[in-house]
A and B are shown apart, each in its own frame.
Chain A
């Protein structure tokens, strides 16, 4: 498409303007799914499996159905044959959402078996206790590192599948001379990097209100979702009714981080229940369910090999990768191994890949679902530096890309442009004062203290062209009052979209930020959008909002030119007034223009009397839009308690032109703290029998105010050329970079004791174990 040049200088873009979302959220007037109450609404609760693998030998719901206040108890037989196709546009028709309730057997703890619908949630939960369930328990497959080769304990034996390997890609050299490079290398470094299972944990758990009206064949859904449009499209297929008969809305969503990107089997069950009962049904999951059964993440390992020459140039990188996808993966996204060389000039690559079913909760998307490539590479590079006895900064400097190297084509064919890996490393090291840190570290070690620095440099593929994610739509309309509404296909769950998109529209139209309202998160009035995720809103939705506003701007100028008897080229718009350049007295307000365009349209020439509204679908010129960053983390480990404490955390990042620096930094802060949690505090643990041990906030520890450092951020703004605003995505980067940075900091703090800390988590117990093993406790 043609990219229009904006006519007015940026006034809001680049400013940390106050958020449009804040006033309602700060005063308790947000509208989350649990705040919705409809006449006649019923409440749902699930009976879930308490064991990892079993055959259901008895399921009797008679007593539960008889409890006063219980309206229905559903099992699989009630839903069988009553739904249609169950797939998502983004994931493809082959990946089917599992049946809403278990059919004859259970395959992980939390597997939903029955659904009680009652007059209150208290009563629904009472009824769960009255369901008679007998199970024939069998040995599950729990450890993903061994499950692929395990032909005795098959997760999907019930489907007749002969193996636990969901995907098994044998080793593929992407470079013809990979073997030669390893054979010729002065140093071949090998290590196994393991990342633990940690989970998204939005503060609002999952929830849905489904309301079927039989006389009109209409389904109205309010859900905690990242994609109202995809939920609508999904349920149109699922229920076999036209999309137009379904409304999905999500005004406020309390976080998602990937977990709420796709429709869940529980949501399917609630929708079916509403259709069968012809009444509104609400399901709000509790925290135990969310931790146990809303989708898990990470839990991957890689055996990494690096071929390094005498000059410490990395000549090749290879990985044998294994990922746990649980029993029913919701989104089986794992490490993007094509991106393993990351922001380095490494010329050769090879990998194998194994995705393994286990009798645990299925994999969900979580902020940078492919990020293990960064963790594996950055931890392996630190391992290599330790092994070779060289400075990890120098090893990175020698191999990192910087602006003069661009464009650069990676061995997997990724073309990098407008990225600044070496520049961000340099900026971050300057913010730290690297030389001073190493001196301080040497002094600390001499005193017996454990002080370490972790580094992580990465590129982030934002706004990717995976199926359905390539475009976004926006409708911009100037209303009869002269105020502006932008209708977007996005679904915000904390990204400040109402704010940033209003900044873009206001700047393009020359109107006040306060005069722009953004409508999103509902399907009836907004253009299709595939969902808010994948760090794509700024680039793709921002592009759509910008281009639609510019079309409307041209319409405004045409109408005003007619009224003012001037040429559109001689007009300017500022502060909502259209005026002749150099003659500010000859002007119209936006309300005057709207009146001319709508109320007196018949007085305008036919070609310009068409209102002040435009819809544009936008597609970036290239995929993905690359952004990049360097993270530095300084950790000190207490010798007595083994508690690691973060002393400094520095991010230098390049997300292109920033729409709102406050929003950018907020996204980075949140992502970084999720990564800190994943290494130092959070660990979702199953025992050998597949029982989850961390299903409360007392066992699954989120970072709190007492653990987080004040995070320092440096910006490098290199405009992207994939979109006219110059934006790059950045929603996931904080979470991508933080894991390896924190793990490497702990590793560096322990390195001089001969310890290679290559597995996470690295909390006090793990550090204590490493010290004991090294004889250094």
Chain B
């Protein structure tokens, strides 16, 4: 299969590689960029573990080919903390016990980050609906739902 060049900006850093057109964005991030925080939980677009922010929108990187992302800006879970300080969402997941095994966590943290950008003051229904595309098998979602509320309050306080 003829390979194609891909150039993207990941977490503010320019990345270029030559890949097969069938290579998924998730595999490009994990294998070519060695950013292994983006996890693969189902590879058919249901579990949300591979969620990344692509040009401002949360997408499942297992359902996007790397070549489709040509020229895009991508944020992965590795790009959320700044200078070693956890983002408001990450800090809320820590304080509210929003993770256990941690495998689904990058997808949740990225999805919540995108959710709060769209809905800075979400209702409970908006939170539940907004996260219904991410699966977690450890927490029963209890700490995650608490964390979203705490993160929303913290983000509001920070921007107020």
Contact = CB atoms under 8 A, between A and B. Distances in A.
A320 interface: no
B41 A203 contact: yes
A29 B40 CA distance: 15
B122 interface: no
Interface residues of B, number: 57
Interface in B25-68: 30-31, 34-44, 46-47, 49
Contact of A704 (B23, B99, B132): B132
B46 A32 contact: no
Contacts of A495: 100
B15 interface: no
B156 interface: no
A705 B103 contact: no
Contacts of B81: 26-27
Nearest to B146: A710
Contact of B140 (A29, A204, A708): A708
A82 interface: no
A697 B138 contact: no
Given A26-B94, A202-B137, A253 B44 contact: no
B137 A674 contact: yes
Nearest to A24: B102
A736 to B, nearest CB: 15
Pick the most buried of A203, A205, A255, A697: most chain B CB atoms within 10 A of its CB. A203
Nearest to A671: B140
B139 A696 contact: no
A21 interface: yes
Contacts of B144: 705
Interface string B53-95: 0000000000000000000000011101100001000100111
B97 interface: yes
A698 B20 CA distance: 28
A122 B76 contact: no
A748 interface: no
B46 A705 contact: no
Interface string B128-152: 1101111111111111110000000
A252 B101 contact: yes
Interface stretch (A96-104, A328-336, A662-670, A764-772): A662-670
A19 B90 CA distance: 13
A202 B22 CA distance: 27
B127 interface: yes
B140 A672 contact: yes
Interface residues of A, number: 56
A30 B139 contact: no
Contact of A662 (B47, B86, B97, B128): B97
A287 B36 contact: no
B103 A255 contact: yes
A485 interface: no
Contacts of B37: 27-30
B104 interface: yes
Interface string A683-705: 00000000000001110001111
Contacts of B101: 202-204, 252-255, 493-494
A234 interface: no
Contact of B103 (A254, A704, A706, A708): A254
B94 A19 contact: yes
Interface string A476-503: 0000000000000000011110000000
B135 A28 contact: no
A16 to B, nearest CB: 7
Interface string B1-29: 00000000000000000001011000000
A644 B101 CA distance: 29
B143 to A, nearest CB: 6
Nearest to A254: B103
B47 A28 contact: no
B109 interface: yes
A28 B77 contact: yes
Nearest to B125: A706
B96 to A, nearest CB: 9
A309 interface: no
Interface string A28-40: 1110101101000
Contacts of A205: 41
A35 B102 CA distance: 14
A286 interface: yes
A94 to B, nearest CB: 32
In this complex, the member of B78, B80, B94, B141 whose beta carbon has the largest number of chain A beta carbons within 10 angstroms is: B141
Nearest to B145: A705
| Most chain B C-beta atoms within 10 Å of own C-beta, residue among A23, A254, A493, A698 | A254
Given A696-B44, A697-B44, A26 B93 contact: yes
Nearest to A290: B42
Given A34-B40, A666-B139, A705-B127, A26 B35 contact: no
B137 A201 contact: yes
A95 interface: no
Interface in A212-255: 252-255
Contacts of B31: 37
Interface of B: 20, 22-23, 30-31, 34-44, 46-47, 49, 76-78, 80-81, 86, 90, 93-95, 97, 99-106, 109, 127-129, 131-145
23 contacts: A26-B81, A26-B86, A26-B94, A27-B37, A27-B90, A29-B78, A34-B36, A202-B137, A203-B47, A255-B138, A257-B137, A287-B41, A494-B101, A663-B97, A666-B100, A666-B139, A670-B100, A670-B139, A671-B140, A698-B46, A704-B135, A705-B131, A705-B141
Given A28-B76, A30-B103, 12 more contacts: A23-B86, A23-B94, A28-B38, A202-B103, A203-B49, A203-B137, A203-B138, A252-B102, A663-B97, A698-B44, A706-B128, A708-B142
